[in-house]
Amino acid sequence: MERNKSNIGKEGKTENRKENETKRTRTNFPKKVAKAPLLSVVIPLYNEEKSIPELGSNLEVVLERISRGSYEVIFVDDGSTDNSRNEIRKLNQKNPRFHCISFRRNYGKSAALSVGFKAAKGKYVITMDADLQDDPEEIPNLLKKLNEGYDLVSGWKRQRFDPITKVIASRIFNFVTSIVSGIRLHDFNCGLKAYRNAVVKRLDVYGEMHRYLPVLAYWDGFSVTEIPVKHHPRKFGKTKFGAGRFLKGFLDLLTVIVVTRFMQRPLHFFGGIGTLMLLLGFFINLYLIIEWLMGKTYLSNRPLLLFGILLIIFGAQIISIGLLGEMNVKTISERIKYNIKERF
Protein backbone atom coordinates (compact mmCIF):
# COMPACT_ATOMS: atom_id res chain seq x y z
CA MET A 1 0.00 0.00 0.00
CA GLU A 2 2.67 2.42 1.10
CA ARG A 3 4.74 1.68 -1.93
CA ASN A 4 1.77 2.30 -4.12
CA LYS A 5 1.12 5.59 -2.45
CA SER A 6 4.67 6.76 -2.94
CA ASN A 7 4.50 5.69 -6.57
CA ILE A 8 1.39 7.67 -7.13
CA GLY A 9 3.09 10.62 -5.54
CA LYS A 10 6.11 10.26 -7.79
CA GLU A 11 4.00 9.97 -10.88
CA GLY A 12 2.14 13.07 -9.91
CA LYS A 13 5.39 14.96 -9.50
CA THR A 14 6.74 13.84 -12.85
CA GLU A 15 3.56 14.96 -14.51
CA ASN A 16 3.83 18.33 -12.83
CA ARG A 17 7.39 18.70 -13.98
CA LYS A 18 6.42 17.82 -17.53
CA GLU A 19 3.64 20.36 -17.46
CA ASN A 20 6.02 23.01 -16.19
CA GLU A 21 8.49 22.16 -18.90
CA THR A 22 5.92 22.48 -21.64
CA LYS A 23 4.76 25.76 -20.21
CA ARG A 24 8.32 27.05 -20.14
CA THR A 25 8.97 25.88 -23.69
CA ARG A 26 5.81 27.53 -24.85
CA THR A 27 6.70 30.85 -23.29
CA ASN A 28 10.31 30.71 -24.43
CA PHE A 29 9.74 29.90 -28.11
CA PRO A 30 6.15 30.62 -28.96
CA LYS A 31 6.67 31.91 -32.47
CA LYS A 32 9.15 29.37 -33.76
CA VAL A 33 6.85 26.49 -32.93
CA ALA A 34 3.61 28.01 -34.07
CA LYS A 35 4.44 30.12 -37.10
CA ALA A 36 4.03 28.50 -40.50
CA PRO A 37 6.23 29.86 -43.27
CA LEU A 38 4.82 31.91 -46.10
CA LEU A 39 6.37 29.70 -48.77
CA SER A 40 7.08 26.00 -49.09
CA VAL A 41 9.13 24.85 -52.04
CA VAL A 42 8.78 21.15 -52.82
CA ILE A 43 11.44 19.61 -55.06
CA PRO A 44 11.25 15.95 -56.15
CA LEU A 45 14.59 14.61 -57.26
CA TYR A 46 16.19 11.41 -58.39
CA ASN A 47 19.98 11.35 -58.89
CA GLU A 48 20.55 15.07 -59.41
CA GLU A 49 23.75 15.50 -57.34
CA LYS A 50 25.43 17.90 -59.77
CA SER A 51 22.49 20.31 -59.94
CA ILE A 52 21.73 20.58 -56.24
CA PRO A 53 24.43 23.08 -55.07
CA GLU A 54 23.57 25.59 -57.82
CA LEU A 55 19.84 25.06 -57.35
CA GLY A 56 20.21 25.63 -53.61
CA SER A 57 22.09 28.91 -53.92
CA ASN A 58 19.83 30.26 -56.71
CA LEU A 59 16.73 29.43 -54.68
CA GLU A 60 18.09 30.95 -51.49
CA VAL A 61 18.68 34.30 -53.19
CA VAL A 62 15.15 34.48 -54.61
CA LEU A 63 13.38 33.17 -51.50
CA GLU A 64 15.20 35.49 -49.08
CA ARG A 65 14.30 38.41 -51.30
CA ILE A 66 10.60 37.68 -51.67
CA SER A 67 9.70 36.14 -48.32
CA ARG A 68 12.20 37.76 -45.92
CA GLY A 69 13.21 34.41 -44.50
CA SER A 70 9.69 32.99 -44.17
CA TYR A 71 10.18 29.89 -46.27
CA GLU A 72 11.05 26.21 -46.19
CA VAL A 73 12.54 24.12 -48.97
CA ILE A 74 11.61 20.44 -48.92
CA PHE A 75 13.74 18.22 -51.12
CA VAL A 76 12.13 14.83 -51.61
CA ASP A 77 14.92 12.46 -52.53
CA ASP A 78 13.17 9.75 -54.50
CA GLY A 79 15.62 6.95 -53.67
CA SER A 80 18.69 8.52 -55.31
CA THR A 81 21.69 6.22 -55.59
CA ASP A 82 24.22 9.04 -56.14
CA ASN A 83 25.43 11.72 -53.76
CA SER A 84 22.25 13.82 -53.84
CA ARG A 85 21.40 13.33 -50.19
CA ASN A 86 24.80 14.51 -49.02
CA GLU A 87 24.56 17.57 -51.24
CA ILE A 88 21.21 18.40 -49.61
CA ARG A 89 22.72 17.79 -46.18
CA LYS A 90 25.37 20.41 -46.98
CA LEU A 91 22.64 22.91 -47.87
CA ASN A 92 20.83 22.04 -44.63
CA GLN A 93 23.96 22.63 -42.55
CA LYS A 94 24.39 26.09 -44.04
CA ASN A 95 20.70 26.98 -43.96
CA PRO A 96 18.31 24.98 -41.75
CA ARG A 97 15.36 26.07 -43.88
CA PHE A 98 16.48 23.44 -46.41
CA HIS A 99 15.04 20.03 -45.51
CA CYS A 100 15.14 16.57 -46.98
CA ILE A 101 12.80 13.60 -46.99
CA SER A 102 14.61 10.64 -48.40
CA PHE A 103 12.93 7.51 -49.77
CA ARG A 104 14.59 4.17 -49.33
CA ARG A 105 13.85 3.32 -52.95
CA ASN A 106 12.69 5.02 -56.13
CA TYR A 107 8.90 5.41 -56.03
CA GLY A 108 8.46 7.93 -58.83
CA LYS A 109 7.87 11.66 -59.14
CA SER A 110 4.21 11.45 -58.09
CA ALA A 111 5.05 9.69 -54.83
CA ALA A 112 7.76 12.26 -54.10
CA LEU A 113 5.34 15.14 -54.71
CA SER A 114 2.66 13.50 -52.62
CA VAL A 115 4.95 13.20 -49.59
CA GLY A 116 6.29 16.73 -50.11
CA PHE A 117 2.73 18.07 -50.27
CA LYS A 118 1.85 16.39 -46.98
CA ALA A 119 4.90 17.96 -45.31
CA ALA A 120 4.47 21.48 -46.75
CA LYS A 121 3.36 24.01 -44.12
CA GLY A 122 3.60 27.19 -46.17
CA LYS A 123 0.61 29.34 -47.10
CA TYR A 124 1.76 28.99 -50.71
CA VAL A 125 3.42 25.90 -52.10
CA ILE A 126 5.80 25.99 -55.07
CA THR A 127 6.94 22.87 -56.90
CA MET A 128 9.91 22.71 -59.23
CA ASP A 129 12.25 20.15 -60.78
CA ALA A 130 15.75 19.74 -59.40
CA ASP A 131 17.56 19.64 -62.75
CA LEU A 132 17.95 23.44 -63.20
CA GLN A 133 15.50 23.40 -66.14
CA ASP A 134 13.02 25.45 -64.07
CA ASP A 135 14.04 28.98 -63.14
CA PRO A 136 13.58 30.13 -59.51
CA GLU A 137 13.33 33.71 -60.79
CA GLU A 138 9.82 32.81 -62.03
CA ILE A 139 8.55 32.14 -58.50
CA PRO A 140 7.53 35.77 -57.81
CA ASN A 141 5.60 35.85 -61.11
CA LEU A 142 3.71 32.67 -60.22
CA LEU A 143 2.85 34.10 -56.79
CA LYS A 144 1.66 37.35 -58.32
CA LYS A 145 -0.75 35.44 -60.53
CA LEU A 146 -1.87 33.32 -57.56
CA ASN A 147 -2.68 36.54 -55.72
CA GLU A 148 -5.06 37.52 -58.46
CA GLY A 149 -7.28 34.87 -56.87
CA TYR A 150 -6.25 31.62 -58.51
CA ASP A 151 -5.72 28.41 -56.55
CA LEU A 152 -3.16 26.90 -58.90
CA VAL A 153 -0.83 28.63 -61.36
CA SER A 154 1.02 26.35 -63.71
CA GLY A 155 4.16 27.21 -65.65
CA TRP A 156 4.03 27.13 -69.44
CA LYS A 157 7.36 26.32 -71.08
CA ARG A 158 6.55 28.42 -74.15
CA GLN A 159 10.07 28.11 -75.45
CA ARG A 160 11.31 24.65 -74.57
CA PHE A 161 14.85 23.37 -74.50
CA ASP A 162 14.24 19.67 -74.92
CA PRO A 163 14.85 17.22 -77.80
CA ILE A 164 12.50 17.89 -80.76
CA THR A 165 10.80 14.46 -80.52
CA LYS A 166 9.84 15.20 -76.93
CA VAL A 167 8.57 18.67 -77.80
CA ILE A 168 6.30 17.36 -80.59
CA ALA A 169 4.97 14.43 -78.57
CA SER A 170 4.34 16.79 -75.69
CA ARG A 171 2.37 19.17 -77.94
CA ILE A 172 0.04 16.31 -78.92
CA PHE A 173 -0.23 15.20 -75.31
CA ASN A 174 -1.15 18.70 -74.14
CA PHE A 175 -3.65 19.21 -76.97
CA VAL A 176 -5.52 15.97 -76.23
CA THR A 177 -5.46 16.58 -72.48
CA SER A 178 -6.80 20.08 -72.98
CA ILE A 179 -9.70 18.85 -75.17
CA VAL A 180 -10.61 15.93 -72.94
CA SER A 181 -10.30 17.75 -69.60
CA GLY A 182 -11.93 20.98 -70.70
CA ILE A 183 -9.10 23.16 -69.32
CA ARG A 184 -7.38 25.36 -71.84
CA LEU A 185 -3.75 25.01 -70.83
CA HIS A 186 -0.74 24.71 -73.14
CA ASP A 187 1.48 22.83 -70.72
CA PHE A 188 0.06 20.46 -68.12
CA ASN A 189 3.24 18.74 -67.03
CA CYS A 190 5.52 21.68 -66.22
CA GLY A 191 7.46 21.01 -63.01
CA LEU A 192 7.16 24.65 -61.95
CA LYS A 193 3.80 25.40 -60.34
CA ALA A 194 2.36 27.43 -57.47
CA TYR A 195 -0.53 26.31 -55.26
CA ARG A 196 -2.50 27.53 -52.30
CA ASN A 197 -1.87 25.20 -49.39
CA ALA A 198 -5.45 23.87 -49.40
CA VAL A 199 -4.97 22.58 -52.95
CA VAL A 200 -1.95 20.41 -52.20
CA LYS A 201 -3.61 18.99 -49.09
CA ARG A 202 -6.53 17.82 -51.23
CA LEU A 203 -4.59 16.50 -54.21
CA ASP A 204 -4.19 12.76 -54.27
CA VAL A 205 -1.05 12.16 -56.34
CA TYR A 206 -0.21 8.51 -56.93
CA GLY A 207 0.99 6.35 -59.82
CA GLU A 208 2.10 8.86 -62.47
CA MET A 209 -0.68 11.35 -61.86
CA HIS A 210 1.81 14.23 -61.58
CA ARG A 211 1.21 14.87 -65.29
CA TYR A 212 -2.38 15.80 -64.55
CA LEU A 213 -2.22 17.91 -61.39
CA PRO A 214 -4.03 20.89 -63.00
CA VAL A 215 -6.78 18.54 -64.22
CA LEU A 216 -7.19 16.91 -60.81
CA ALA A 217 -7.31 20.31 -59.08
CA TYR A 218 -9.70 21.76 -61.64
CA TRP A 219 -12.11 18.85 -61.35
CA ASP A 220 -11.89 19.16 -57.58
CA GLY A 221 -13.33 22.66 -57.91
CA PHE A 222 -10.16 24.80 -57.77
CA SER A 223 -9.40 27.63 -60.20
CA VAL A 224 -6.46 26.91 -62.47
CA THR A 225 -4.45 29.05 -64.87
CA GLU A 226 -0.98 29.27 -66.43
CA ILE A 227 1.72 31.83 -67.21
CA PRO A 228 4.69 31.50 -69.58
CA VAL A 229 7.94 30.69 -67.76
CA LYS A 230 11.59 30.55 -68.73
CA HIS A 231 12.96 27.09 -69.43
CA HIS A 232 16.57 25.93 -69.62
CA PRO A 233 18.28 22.97 -71.23
CA ARG A 234 19.29 20.16 -68.88
CA LYS A 235 22.80 21.00 -67.68
CA PHE A 236 23.76 17.81 -65.84
CA GLY A 237 22.58 14.20 -65.93
CA LYS A 238 19.80 12.99 -68.19
CA THR A 239 16.00 12.80 -68.25
CA LYS A 240 14.43 10.21 -65.98
CA PHE A 241 11.51 9.48 -68.31
CA GLY A 242 11.94 7.41 -71.49
CA ALA A 243 9.75 7.19 -74.59
CA GLY A 244 7.31 5.00 -72.66
CA ARG A 245 6.08 8.18 -70.96
CA PHE A 246 3.65 8.97 -73.76
CA LEU A 247 1.82 5.67 -73.79
CA LYS A 248 1.62 5.70 -70.01
CA GLY A 249 0.55 9.34 -70.14
CA PHE A 250 -2.42 8.59 -72.38
CA LEU A 251 -3.47 5.57 -70.35
CA ASP A 252 -3.36 7.76 -67.25
CA LEU A 253 -5.57 10.28 -69.01
CA LEU A 254 -8.32 7.64 -69.10
CA THR A 255 -7.82 7.10 -65.39
CA VAL A 256 -7.99 10.82 -64.74
CA ILE A 257 -11.28 11.10 -66.63
CA VAL A 258 -12.76 8.24 -64.66
CA VAL A 259 -11.56 9.32 -61.22
CA THR A 260 -12.36 12.99 -61.64
CA ARG A 261 -15.46 13.32 -63.76
CA PHE A 262 -16.99 9.91 -63.22
CA MET A 263 -15.81 8.84 -59.79
CA GLN A 264 -19.18 9.39 -58.22
CA ARG A 265 -21.25 8.36 -61.20
CA PRO A 266 -19.35 5.52 -62.84
CA LEU A 267 -22.37 4.22 -64.68
CA HIS A 268 -22.55 7.38 -66.77
CA PHE A 269 -19.16 6.53 -68.24
CA PHE A 270 -19.10 2.76 -68.53
CA GLY A 271 -22.85 2.52 -68.80
CA GLY A 272 -22.79 4.96 -71.71
CA ILE A 273 -20.25 3.02 -73.74
CA GLY A 274 -21.72 -0.34 -72.75
CA THR A 275 -25.30 0.62 -73.55
CA LEU A 276 -24.30 1.92 -76.96
CA MET A 277 -22.64 -1.39 -77.79
CA LEU A 278 -25.53 -3.38 -76.38
CA LEU A 279 -28.10 -1.47 -78.41
CA LEU A 280 -26.07 -1.70 -81.61
CA GLY A 281 -25.68 -5.46 -81.11
CA PHE A 282 -29.37 -5.84 -80.32
CA PHE A 283 -30.53 -4.03 -83.47
CA ILE A 284 -28.06 -5.91 -85.67
CA ASN A 285 -29.38 -9.21 -84.39
CA LEU A 286 -32.99 -8.02 -84.58
CA TYR A 287 -32.46 -7.16 -88.22
CA LEU A 288 -30.95 -10.59 -88.90
CA ILE A 289 -33.83 -12.35 -87.12
CA ILE A 290 -36.39 -10.49 -89.21
CA GLU A 291 -34.51 -11.40 -92.36
CA TRP A 292 -34.39 -15.02 -91.22
CA LEU A 293 -38.11 -15.08 -90.38
CA MET A 294 -38.87 -13.76 -93.84
CA GLY A 295 -36.90 -16.73 -95.12
CA LYS A 296 -34.37 -14.69 -97.01
CA THR A 297 -31.19 -16.47 -95.92
CA TYR A 298 -29.67 -18.87 -93.41
CA LEU A 299 -28.14 -17.21 -90.34
CA SER A 300 -25.06 -19.41 -90.78
CA ASN A 301 -24.39 -17.37 -93.90
CA ARG A 302 -24.25 -14.07 -92.02
CA PRO A 303 -20.93 -13.19 -90.33
CA LEU A 304 -22.69 -10.07 -89.03
CA LEU A 305 -24.47 -12.31 -86.53
CA LEU A 306 -21.21 -12.93 -84.67
CA PHE A 307 -20.46 -9.23 -84.60
CA GLY A 308 -23.88 -8.52 -83.09
CA ILE A 309 -23.41 -11.15 -80.42
CA LEU A 310 -19.93 -9.83 -79.66
CA LEU A 311 -21.26 -6.32 -79.17
CA ILE A 312 -23.93 -7.53 -76.79
CA ILE A 313 -21.48 -9.50 -74.67
CA PHE A 314 -18.87 -6.72 -74.62
CA GLY A 315 -21.49 -4.12 -73.82
CA ALA A 316 -22.77 -6.07 -70.85
CA GLN A 317 -19.23 -6.66 -69.57
CA ILE A 318 -18.16 -3.04 -69.87
CA ILE A 319 -21.19 -1.97 -67.91
CA SER A 320 -20.65 -4.43 -65.12
CA ILE A 321 -16.89 -4.82 -64.66
CA GLY A 322 -14.84 -1.84 -65.83
CA LEU A 323 -15.30 0.72 -63.17
CA LEU A 324 -15.20 -1.54 -60.14
CA GLY A 325 -11.47 -2.00 -60.71
CA GLU A 326 -10.80 1.70 -61.10
CA MET A 327 -12.80 2.51 -57.98
CA ASN A 328 -10.78 0.01 -55.98
CA VAL A 329 -7.49 1.55 -57.07
CA LYS A 330 -8.72 4.98 -56.07
CA THR A 331 -9.86 3.74 -52.68
CA ILE A 332 -6.61 2.03 -51.72
CA SER A 333 -4.32 4.72 -53.13
CA GLU A 334 -4.64 6.81 -49.98
CA ARG A 335 -3.47 3.91 -47.84
CA ILE A 336 -0.16 3.32 -49.61
CA LYS A 337 2.65 3.82 -47.09
CA TYR A 338 6.02 5.01 -48.39
CA ASN A 339 9.15 3.65 -46.83
CA ILE A 340 10.95 6.79 -45.69
CA LYS A 341 14.59 6.48 -44.84
CA GLU A 342 15.33 9.78 -43.18
CA ARG A 343 14.01 13.26 -42.49
CA PHE A 344 16.06 16.28 -41.55
Interface with ligand UDP (CB under 6 A): 44-46, 48, 78, 106, 108-109, 112, 129-131, 133, 191, 239-241
Q: For binding to Mg ion (CB under 5 A), which residues are involved?
A: 129, 131, 133
Please state the closest distance from residue 84 (CB atom) to Mg ion, in A: 15
Amino acid at 66: I
**123 vs 234 by CB, closer to Mg ion:** 234
Query: Is the CB of 47 or the CB of 285 nearer to ligand UDP?
Result: 47
Query: Based on the number of CB atoms within 10 Å of its own CB, is 209 exposed (0-12), middle (13-18) or buried (19 or more)?
Result: buried
> How near is the Cβ of 338 to ligand UDP at its closest, in Å?
13
CA-CA distance, 106 to 80, in Å (whole number)?
Answer: 7
60 binds, among ligand UDP, Mg ion, none (CB under 5 to 8 A by kind): none
The site partner of 112 among Mg ion, ligand UDP, none (C-beta below 5 to 8 Å per kind) is ligand UDP
Neighbours of 281 (CB within 10 A): 20
CB nearer to ligand UDP: pick between 35 and 232: 232
Contact (Cβ atoms closer than 8 angstroms) between residue 249 and residue 176:
no
Q: Which is nearer to Mg ion, 127 or 133 (CB)?
A: 133
The entry of ligand UDP, Mg ion, none near residue 249 (CB within 5 to 8 angstroms by kind) is none
**How many CA atoms within 13 Å lie on the side-chain side of 7?**
4
In 3-state terms, what secondary structure has residue 329?
Answer: helix
DSSP 22-40: HHHHHHHSHHHHHPPPSEE
Long-range contacts of 289-296 (CB under 8 A, 24+ apart): none
Q: How far is the CB of 266 from ligand UDP (least distance, A)?
A: 31
Do the beta carbons of residue 45 and residue 77 sit within 8 Å? yes
Q: How far apart are CA 5 and CA 8, in angstroms?
A: 5
Closer residue to Mg ion, CB minimum distance, 174 or 285: 174
What is the nearest approach in angstroms of Mg ion to the Cβ of residue 167? 13
> Quick one: 129 or 138, whose CB is closer to Mg ion?
129
Residue 48 site contact among ligand UDP, Mg ion, none (CB < 5 to 8 Å, cut-off depends on kind): ligand UDP
Q: Which residues are within 8 A (CB) of 19 and not within 5 positions of it... i.e. 6 or more apart?
A: none
Q: Could you tell me the smallest distance in angstroms from the CB atom of residue 234 to Mg ion?
A: 6
Residue 29: CB minimum distance to ligand UDP, A = 34
Residue 241 interaction partner, one of Mg ion, ligand UDP, none, beta carbon < 5-8 Å per kind: ligand UDP
Residue 45 interacts, among Mg ion, ligand UDP, none and using kind-specific CB cut-offs from 5 to 8 Å, with ligand UDP
Q: How far is CA 280 from the centre of its chain?
A: 39
Residues 318/270, Cβ–Cβ less than 8 Å: yes
Write down the least CB distance from residue 71 to Mg ion, Å.
23
CB nearer to Mg ion: give 129 or 326. 129
CB 123 within 8 A of CB 196: yes
The answer to whether the beta carbons of residues 112 and 84 sit under 8 Å apart is: no
